Every structure is written in structure tokens, then in C-alpha cells.
Chains A and B, each alone.
Chain A
């Protein structure tokens, strides 16, 4: 237990060197990693989305790829392509940028639904199927997708069924003034490149397994059920949280408990993760899935403030 906590702290400290002043964002990223989930980072450009993904990849000694999505991108640009190899007289699979551990899918809403869905399928199943052959993706595998909430021109909003595949939706936000100043002061020094892996891919997988073993008391499960049920009956929401959503909340909460050094869940784990884990899975009445981003969070916050916690 203390070993796991130590490893997690090392990762967080390492990422924290690159992404200054955002421990809670780093924690959510680590939670996503430990819960075998993917992150949707919704924020304006230039607040450190890439830095977060790259620093995470470097800290765990894993492969890292960045895919900049554009509207002319094809699925093969993401997952790879089979090419005729004359020497062997057969098609040979050339893996795309997806075949790595940490993928930064930048501006995912700029590409066509076809490409989006090929990526999301890969995310869900951790494998790529092409020409009747299945190619497993390396483990650990984590996608950090970003989208810009301010620009809607020329974008293809992710449908809610696709949004459901992200474990957490987070925001980074602008850094505080002192942190920003320290970033300016250190500008020019290669922070990201200076990061060394603090744990290996096998360690990450061991931690993921440990997170699965975190004990969830019946009352905490009831609490999750109550939260989810409240989203389904809320008069403000037209679409509540799916069972996949409640499962995601439980997985995220377990990872959070592990990152906190506990082998059991407390209601706080669930409560603190309810908004990032559920807000992108609901639809506010009178709005589309995209338009209601902020409002969905407000509705969920009010639900969290109302649902009784286990005594």
C-alpha cells in the first residue's frame, strides 16, 4: 500500500515539475491512468494540455504520440494502414500513431465523425481491427483528447455516445499569477526533456490492478446509485447517466482512493469525482450535448449537494 502511494506521489511530483500549480489536474490525470480511463480535456489553447500529456508519458517511461486532428484526416492516419509489401507479397500493417502508450488527441472535434469513431473504438477496446485482423494496442494505453469549448466553427461535436467513452472530463484553467510568473522565469529551460521516468509501464499496470482491488462498501455503492438515479430523475436533465457512467464513477473513485493511500472507498472519493466523471454524460433540457457543458456541471453540483451521503 505504502509502496503504491510512494509511486503515485513520485509520478505526481514529476508531472508537477512540468505543469506548475495544478496539482488537482495532475491528480485527475493520474486517476484516469490508474482507472484505465481516458481523459477529455476541455479548455482553451495554451494552458498546458500537451505539457500534461507529455509529462505524464515521460514520467511513466511510456511512449507518447501527439495527433493533431484536422478535418481532412482519415482513420488510417490514426490507426495505421496495411501496405502491399512486394518482397513478401503480402499486406503488411503499418501501425499508426495510436500504437503507443499515451496519446494526445489534440482538438478531437476538428476531425470528421468517421475518424473520431475509429479512435473512440480503439479507446474502448484497446485494440485496432483492420482487414479482419486485430492488433492489440500496447499497455498501458491512455488517450488524452482535447477540445476547445470556445470555437464551434468547422467542428464536429462529439456525440454523447462517444463522450460516454471518456472516463473524466476535466479543465486545466489558467494558472495562478505566481505560478505563471515562475513559468515565465523558467522559460527556455527544457523542463519536459529533463523529466526522467519514475516508474515503468509494468508498475502502472500493477497499480491499475491494485486500484481494482480497492474495497467499496455497500453504502458507498448505494451512494453512487443514488447519485446516478438523481441524474435520471432530475427535472433539469433530459438524459441521465448510463450504467457505464456509474461504472466509470466507481472506477475513478477507486483510483482516487488508491492515490490517497487507502484500500477502501469513502464517500468523498465519489463526491469529488461526480462532476468530472458524470457531467459530460448528461444532457441538460433544452440544450445539445455540447452547448450545455457548463450548465451540466452546475446541475450535477446541485445534485451532489442534495443527495444524502452514507452515514
Chain B
């Protein structure tokens, strides 16, 4: 492969990497990708036949002008937004360079321009795959710059590049290794700078907002069965990490991620009545204080990464006490639903929650059946017109209870044991959905369970509301976090009890139904953990993280110093002769290891073996020829010549030169060295 050919190939690959980045960011659809691939192939072919079939310049100019006009129109009127238009212009410029390639400069420009494809993609994608495209781009770019330099310098010096091409450009060539090392160095350096340079302001260019998948369920209205369609979606939408070491997070009681609460039911749809939403104030420590802890359950801090799902709810384990979030304001309504205006952005926040315990503490003996109602809980008793048999069933189930809590438990138990969980939700009768669920189908998804329980609770006078959120999700041991998928969308019930207040009940036997599914493979978990780290340490890397990193480095350093001092003190206590004995032991061990190290003598003997011969031996070894230990170079050469005649001359030449350099005192002349390189290349190539 000639250096020029390699340079062209690398440049094209670079453009392809840029295209891949665009495709990843959704800036280049399948059609656009196909057009780009066609155009690239076309320019490659044109480049091959240019000398044989000269194109009249007028055609080229006509083509360029037409394309330029099209791009201008696209930029002004056609493109959906500015960024798309920019990308089209960029692709046009790159392809023009490749089509009209006259000198090395055009190739280099095409390579440089493809960098902007990467830039354009970087502003709209947060995907971890971007990292891999970026690494490939970095490697190719380094390679291209090195090759460009080599080719242009050799053109300037008016010499062929044969001496450089002799080593080849394959994955084993020196050039490849150098570029790999340079790319790795660049990556390390850039990574260091990324983590150290202060992160200020908005990193994302405001060209195009990322809109993730919208969840139809998480709105102010929830129709029964709405979660059904998302309950098969495996997309991970939320990751919950416990920054303060929590022992055995999987055993934490009743872990759910509460989102929105609904109080009004019309027989088919749950909705939240017009809310009195207040804005929370930041307290002096920079956190939003949601409520006061009751001191009943364990206080757990969660760090939550929420993908944009088009919902303004802030999910957290109930009951959220404090929230730390990088937004201007956080809303809170009287039902405890926390909202944020930044619903289209990826959110990262920390929440302190006081987990609920069972039985709820502070339960007071209350009258049963419920007689009096507090005015503030009246709205949680609203019911649509209901068939009498629902009320009768509720009374029947709760009969014999001594308190509202016991009645609620009975209802919960009744629903979770007598009904089955299913995702097949088909209306079978003309009855109302709750009635059909309770008396005909006797199976449904979480919303039916929650709605039925809330309705039955209300019908016996216990204030109740339906909550929409996510169930706990799967524990990912590789990243130590809970992985919450779209299909984990869940709804349950909160009932108001005198004393503890709102208490969670989850009647759906969902966990039992889902245990039947197999656990995700380790690879899936590992990949998701990688994604989590990408979001945590790259996408969401903030000034705060930098400060905390600096603090922890400082603390670590001082601790290290402290432990060093401690070591010194404890060393003083050790008797002198002990120290002397240990030093002597170490010296003896080192000496004997050195003496008996395998191959020490052979290494010394091999010191004088010329490099080219070692390379030749390696090249031959790859072809299955290995020199025996008692085989002389000449015997080996004859063996290879006998078995593989095409290599005969190359091997004979290398062997003769090896003997002269190794055993005589001969030095190679430049011509001989070049001839040897050619022979080596022949060994590798064929």
C-alpha cells in the first residue's frame, strides 16, 4: 500500500466516522446516510479514473453552483432547524473537497471538516456510543495527520516514499503503533483537561433540544390501562444510586419511586384536581426542603439520574424530605407531588427520603366504621356513581375490622390474593372498568388494582388517592444502583389514617408475576453500568463534582501523609535486628531470583541479535516457521526455503546479513538496510 493510498483511505474512514457520529445523534437519517455513502463511493471512483477521463470544468462548476443554491435554500427554508442546515452544508463542503481533489490539501481539508461533524453530533447526543465513535475518530485523525505530514514532506523533498512504505501501514507497522500511542496520549491528556478545567455555563449549544420518549401515563390524567402499552418497554429511564453507603439496598423496605398523585376519579380516568402548587425555596445549604422528617423511618439519600421522558414530575422514594437539584425552582403541591420546569432535560438530583415502615408508627385507635370526616380529606372520598355491588364487596371484605388500618390491610390482602396480574387488558363487557375488573375479569394491571382499592377504600370512608411512579427496578451490581425501566411504571394507593397520615398500600401482585421473567444478562447490566458512569462522570460532570473531587484528593493526600507518619512511628517500635534480618532476606531473595530467573542467560545472549532478524523471525513465526533452539540460522533458512520457495531469496538474504552482523563485525550500508527492509516487507506481505 502506498502512503498516498493509505492517506486517502484514512481520510475517507475519517469522514465515515464523522457520518457515524451524525447518525448516532440522529442528525443523519437512513436516507441521508445512504446518500452520503453513495457520494463517498462516487468520489472515490472519480478519483481513481480522473487521470483517464478528464471532466470538463464547466460541468463541475455547474454542479457546484446548483448544490450551493440547494444548500442555501435548505438552510433558509427547508431544514427543520439551524443545526440540520449546518450539517447539510458541512457534508456538501466535504464531498466537494473529495470530488475535486487536486492536492493533498483537499484531503486534509476534508479530514478537518469532518471534525465539525463530530462537533455537531456532540451537541445533541448524550449516548455512550459517542465515546467509541470519538475514540475511533481520534485514532484516525492522528493517523491522517501523521500520514499527511509524511506524504507532503516526501513530496516536497522530491523523493518517493518507498523507504517509509517498506514497513507497511498494517496494524503491525511502526506507523500504526506510533499513531496509536499518540492517540492514546491525546485521549489521556484531553481527559485530564476535561476533568480539571472548571466547568462553567451551558455546555450544550441550544440548537436542538433533545426530546426523549414521552410517557403517556405520566400526565395530569391517567386513563385506566394507560401503562399497559409501556409495560413492555425495556428502556432504562432512571438510575438510582445511593451515594452514602447503604447496606444491602435490595432489602430496603417498600422502595418505590413516587411521582404524581391523583385524587379525582370519574369511573374511567384518574386526574389531579386543580392544584395549589407552591414554589419551594432554596435553604441556605442550597437544598430544597420539602417536609420535616418525622423521625420514624430510616433516612436514605438517593442520587437519581432521570432520562428525559417528557414528564415534569420529580421521582423519589416516598417521603421525600430534601432535594438537591441544579434548577432554579421546584414546585410542590399539597398531595406531595414534586415538579420541575426542566422536563425536557436529563435530570440529576439527590433526594433525602424518610422510608416508610410497617406498621406505620403513631397509629391511633380510630372509630370503625368511620363516622366523622375532616374537611381537608373530603376530596379524597369523592366517588363517581358506582354500582352497589362494589360498595357491598368493600363492606364484605372489611367486615370485622377494628380500625381503618386493619380494613385497608384486609382490602389489600383481598386484592393481591384473589386477583391475578396481567398485561392483557381487553374490555369484555359493557360494564364500567372497575366493575368488570372486580366481578368479571378478575385480572388486570397495577392501575386496575390501585383504582379498585382506592375506590373500595373511599366507599368505606377511608380517604385514598392513586399514585403514579415507578417500582423499584433491578439492582445493578456492577454500578451499584437500581436500574428502573420504562416497564417499571407503576401505580399504587395511599390511604389517610389518623395518626401516621398518608400510608402506602400496593395491592398489585406484580412482583410475584414478574419473578417468572429471567434476570438480565451480566453483559446487559455491565453495559448499563457503563452508560451510568458516562452520564455521571462525563455528561453531567459539573463544577460541583470538580470541587468535590479536589476536596477528596486533598483529603486522600493528607490521610496518606497521616498514615505514612503512623507507619514511621510503628516502625520505630520494631527491634533493629528484625529490620536488619528483613533487609537481608529481601536482598537474598532478590539475588536468588535474579540468578534463577528463567531465560536470563538467553536474554543476554540474544542481546546482539540484529533487530531486522528478530522481526524476520516474528514474521516467519506467524507463517508457522519457528526456529528450533538447536537449529542454526542457515539450517532454518534452508528449511524455510524448502517449504516455502517464494520466501527463499528474502530469507537467504536476511540470514546472510544476520550472520554478518551477528558473528562478523559487519555493519550494514544504507543500501543493504533498504534491501533488508524490502525483504522483510516481502516476508510480511506474501
Q: A217-B663, A219-B608, A311-B609 are in contact. Are A268 and B630 (CB under 8 A)?
A: no
Q: Is the CB of B632 within 8 A of A264?
A: no
Enumerate chain A residues within 8 angstroms of B672, measured Cβ to Cβ. none
Interface size on A, residues (CB 8 A): 21
A215-B659 Cα distance, complex, nearest whole Å: 12
Q: Which of A15-23, A87-95, A301-309 makes up part of the contact surface?
A: A301-309
Q: Is the CB of B663 within 8 A of A263?
A: no
Is A222 interfacial (CB-CB < 8 Å)? yes
Q: Is the CB of A305 within 8 A of B630?
A: yes
Enumerate chain A residues within 8 angstroms of B602, measured Cβ to Cβ. 311
Q: Is the CB of B629 within 8 A of A266?
A: no
Q: Is the CB of A307 within 8 A of B630?
A: yes
Q: A267-B632, A309-B630, A310-B662 are in contact. List 8 more A-B contacts (CB 8 A).
A: A215-B664, A219-B605, A264-B659, A265-B663, A266-B632, A308-B630, A310-B663, A311-B602
Q: Is the CB of A222 within 8 A of B605?
A: yes
Is A171 interfacial (CB-CB < 8 Å)? no
Docked complex: A173-193 residues within 8 A CB-CB of B: none
Q: A219-B608, A311-B606 are in contact. Are A268 and B632 (CB under 8 A)?
A: yes
Q: Is the CB of A266 within 8 A of B659?
A: yes
Is B402 interfacial (CB-CB < 8 Å)? no
Interface residues on B, range: 10 to 19
Q: A311-B602, A311-B606, A311-B609 are in contact. Are A266 and B630 (CB under 8 A)?
A: no
Docked complex: B603-648 residues within 8 A CB-CB of A: 605-606, 608-609, 629-635
Q: A215-B664, A215-B665, A264-B665 are in contact. Are A311 and B630 (CB under 8 A)?
A: no
Q: Is the CB of A268 within 8 A of B634?
A: yes
A217-B610 Cα distance, complex, nearest whole Å: 14
Q: Is the CB of A309 within 8 A of B605?
A: no
Q: Is the CB of A310 within 8 A of B629?
A: no
Number of A-B contacts (CB under 8 A): 49
Docked complex: B582-607 residues within 8 A CB-CB of A: 602, 605-606
Task: State how many angstroms separate the Cβ of B497 from the closest Cβ of chain A.
Answer: 87
Q: Is the CB of B664 within 8 A of A263?
A: yes
Enumerate chain A residues within 8 angstroms of B605, measured Cβ to Cβ. 219, 222, 310-311
Q: Is the CB of A264 within 8 A of B630?
A: no
Is A54 interfacial (CB-CB < 8 Å)? no
Q: Is the CB of B606 within 8 A of A264?
A: no
Which B residues fall within an 8 A CB radius of A? 602, 605-606, 608-609, 629-635, 659-660, 662-665
Task: List 20 contacting pairs A-B, 8 Å CB cutoff, sorted by A.
Answer: A219-B662, A222-B605, A263-B664, A264-B663, A264-B665, A265-B663, A266-B632, A266-B633, A266-B659, A267-B632, A268-B632, A268-B633, A268-B634, A268-B635, A304-B630, A305-B630, A308-B629, A310-B662, A311-B605, A311-B609
Task: State how many angstroms separate the Cβ of B640 from the closest Cβ of chain A.
Answer: 15
Task: Classify the secondary structure of B's interface with A.
Answer: helix
A198-B633 Cα distance, complex, nearest whole Å: 34
Enumerate chain A residues within 8 angstroms of B664, measured Cβ to Cβ. 215, 262-264
Q: Is the CB of A219 within 8 A of B632?
A: no
Q: A222-B605, A311-B605 are in contact. Are A306 and B630 (CB under 8 A)?
A: yes
A308-B602 Cα distance, complex, nearest whole Å: 10
Is A220 interfacial (CB-CB < 8 Å)? yes
Q: Choose from B631, B660, B665 the contact partner of A309 (Cβ within 8 Å).
A: B631
Enumerate chain B residues within 8 angstroms of A266, measured Cβ to Cβ. 632-634, 659, 663
Enumerate chain B residues within 8 angstroms of A308, measured Cβ to Cβ. 629-630
Is A271 interfacial (CB-CB < 8 Å)? yes
Docked complex: A208-223 residues within 8 A CB-CB of B: 215, 217, 219-220, 222
Enumerate chain B residues within 8 angstroms of A222, measured Cβ to Cβ. 605
Enumerate chain A residues within 8 angstroms of B609, measured Cβ to Cβ. 311
A219-B665 Cα distance, complex, nearest whole Å: 13
Enumerate chain B residues within 8 angstroms of A309, measured Cβ to Cβ. 629-632
Task: State how many angstroms separate the Cβ of A116 from the closest Cβ of chain B.
Answer: 37
Q: A311-B605, A311-B609 are in contact. Are A217 and B632 (CB under 8 A)?
A: no
